[in-house]
């Protein structure tokens, strides 16, 4: 079980939306992790520097939060093999789908992009179905 | 202040948001998807909060400015094509997300928490992105080759 955290989750969501707004206002870019990351995987894109800066900020922020006494619950209730298989599939999927939760689910839908609306519905349904099969069909 | 500073600030805000929201915690993400079991609806609040804030934020930005502060123009995707690549790729992403409990935006800030699982996931995910890139090159070469 994990604790239901509506207020912290809502606050976190608002910050994610704020980050997307800042990146659009100053850099004119979508805050999508797939797209931002793809430019720093060799061969580097010409505009790799702002991408690296965004990624560095995203990694450092939780470190600062924890150093200041914040608590970030973490638990990965799956095997290492499942982590590897899941990671590989996510990597291929977000590349072909041109985006993930941040790019399609937040930034894309916020712009009312039909592609992003379709992508988000598909990956959410696929994830619900996958967890159902793993936990209640295979594991049940 | 330049384009890298603003990107760093946006990244910091994003990272804090992911950390406190619970998206950096695979157990919480998997419970969100487990409607028939240990359902934790928190992530609806993450998505809702992020979406409404970004929609309002974008409206203000696009209404107030004709170009971003540090660039010559807004660089947003313009494609409206819904094809098998988009749907198939997204379905695969959902499958992997349901297996691992991590999406790219959740995993990158989670690196800062220092757990080995996150590094394993990220290594595999980058491997998957490289595989997709390689397959794309093969496909381009095949379609570009003379008949």
Six-digit token pair at A125? 């349904």
Chain A contact for B144 (CB, 8 A cutoff): no
H or E element, residue A120: helix A114-132
What's the confidence (pLDDT) of residue A1?
77
3-state percent helix, strand, coil for chain A, nearest multiple of 5: 70, 0, 30
Mean pLDDT of B85-100: 98
Calculate the CA A14 to chain-centre distance. Answer: 15
Q: CB of B17 within 8 A of CB of A12?
A: yes
pLDDT confidence band for B115 (50 / 70 / 90): very high
Considering only the beta carbons, identify the residue of A19, A66, A120 that sits closest to B10: A19
Q: CB of A74 within 8 A of CB of A65?
A: no
Cβ separation B85–A97 shorter than 8 A: yes
> Which residues of chain B does A22 touch, with a Cβ-Cβ cutoff of 8 Å?
6, 9-10, 13
What's the confidence (pLDDT) of residue A52?
98
Chain A contact for B126 (CB, 8 A cutoff): yes
> Which residues of chain A does B69 touch, with a Cβ-Cβ cutoff of 8 Å?
25-26
pLDDT above 60 (res B93): yes
Rounded mean pLDDT of chain B?
A: 95
DSSP B96-130: HHHHHS--HHHHHHHHTTT-HHHHHHHHHHHHHHH
Query: In chain B, what percentage of residues exceed pLDDT 90?
Result: 91
Six-digit token pair at B99? 């297996």
> Which residues of chain B does A85 touch, with a Cβ-Cβ cutoff of 8 Å?
96, 99-100, 124
Rounded mean pLDDT of chain A?
A: 96
Residues whose CB is less than 8 angstroms from the CB of residue B27 and which lie 6 or more positions away in sequence, other chains included: A2, A73, A74, A75, A76, A77, B101
Six-digit token pair at A73? 């619950």
What's the confidence (pLDDT) of residue A140?
60
Residues whose CB is less than 8 angstroms from the CB of residue A77 and which lie 6 or more positions away in sequence, other chains included: B26, B27, B30, B101
What's the half-sphere exposure (Cβ side, CA atoms, 13 Å) at A1?
A: 3
Q: What's the pLDDT tens digit per position in A39-87? A: 999 889 999 999 999 999 999 999 999 999 999 999 999 999 999 999 9
What's the confidence (pLDDT) of residue A43?
86
Cβ separation A84–B120 shorter than 8 A: yes
What's the confidence (pLDDT) of residue B123?
98
Q: What's the pLDDT tens digit per position in A1-34? A: 789 999 999 999 999 999 999 999 999 999 999 9
Mutate to test the interface with B, among A91, A105, A106, A133 (most CBs of B within 10 A): A91
Distance CA A97, CA A52 (A): 22
Predicted-complex ipTM score: 0.97
What's the confidence (pLDDT) of residue A40?
95
pLDDT confidence band for A116 (50 / 70 / 90): very high
Q: What is the CA radius of gyration of chain B?
A: 19
Cβ separation A126–B45 shorter than 8 A: no
> Which residues of chain B does A13 touch, with a Cβ-Cβ cutoff of 8 Å?
17, 21, 45-51, 53
Q: Which long-range contacts (CB under 8 A, 24 or more apart) does B70-73 make?
A: B70/A26, B70/A27, B70/A28, B70/B2, B70/B3, B70/B6, B71/A27, B71/A28, B71/B3, B73/A28
pLDDT confidence band for B146 (50 / 70 / 90): low
Q: What's the pLDDT tens digit per position in A87-106? A: 999 999 999 999 999 999 99
Q: What's the pLDDT tens digit per position in B14-71? A: 999 999 999 999 999 999 999 999 999 999 999 999 999 999 999 999 999 999 999 9
> Which residues of chain B does A107 touch, with a Cβ-Cβ cutoff of 8 Å?
54
* Whole-structure pTM value: 0.96
Considering only CA atoms, which of A30, A86, A61, A4 is closest in space to residue B103?
A86
């Amino acid at each position: 079980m994990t604790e239901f955290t509506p207020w912290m989750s809502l606050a976190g969501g608002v910050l994610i939306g704020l980050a997307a707004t800042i990146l659009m206002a100053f850099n004119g870019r979508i805050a999508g992790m797939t797209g931002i990351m793809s430019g720093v995987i060799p061969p580097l894109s010409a505009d790799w520097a702002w991408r690296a800066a965004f990624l560095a900020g995203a990694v450092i922020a939780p470190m600062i939060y924890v150093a200041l006494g914040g608590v970030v619950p973490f638990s990965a209730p799956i095997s290492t093999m499942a982590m590897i298989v899941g990671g590989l599939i996510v990597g291929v999927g977000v590349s072909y789908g041109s985006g993930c939760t941040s790019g399609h689910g937040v930034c894309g839908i916020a712009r009312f992009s039909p592609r992003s609306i379709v992508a988000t519905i598909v990956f959410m349904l696929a994830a619900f179905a996958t967890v159902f099969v793993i936990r209640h069909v295979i594991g049940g | 202040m330049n384009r890298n500073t603003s990107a760093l600030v946006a990244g910091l805000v994003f990272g804090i948001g992911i950390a406190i929201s619970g998206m950096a915690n695979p157990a919480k993400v998997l419970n969100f998807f487990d409607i028939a079991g240990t359902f934790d609806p928190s992530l609806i609040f993450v998505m809702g909060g992020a979406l409404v804030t970004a929609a309002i934020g974008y409206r203000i930005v696009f209404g107030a400015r004709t170009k971003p502060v540090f660039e010559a123009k807004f660089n947003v995707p313009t494609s409206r094509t819904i094809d098998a690549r988009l749907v198939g790729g997204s379905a695969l992403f959902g499958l992997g997300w349901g297996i691992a409990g991590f999406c790219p935006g959740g995993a990158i800030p989670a690196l800062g928490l220092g757990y080995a699982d996150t590094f394993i996931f990220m290594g595999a995910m980058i491997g998957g992105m490289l595989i997709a890139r390689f397959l794309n090159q093969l496909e381009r070469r095949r379609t570009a080759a003379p008949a």
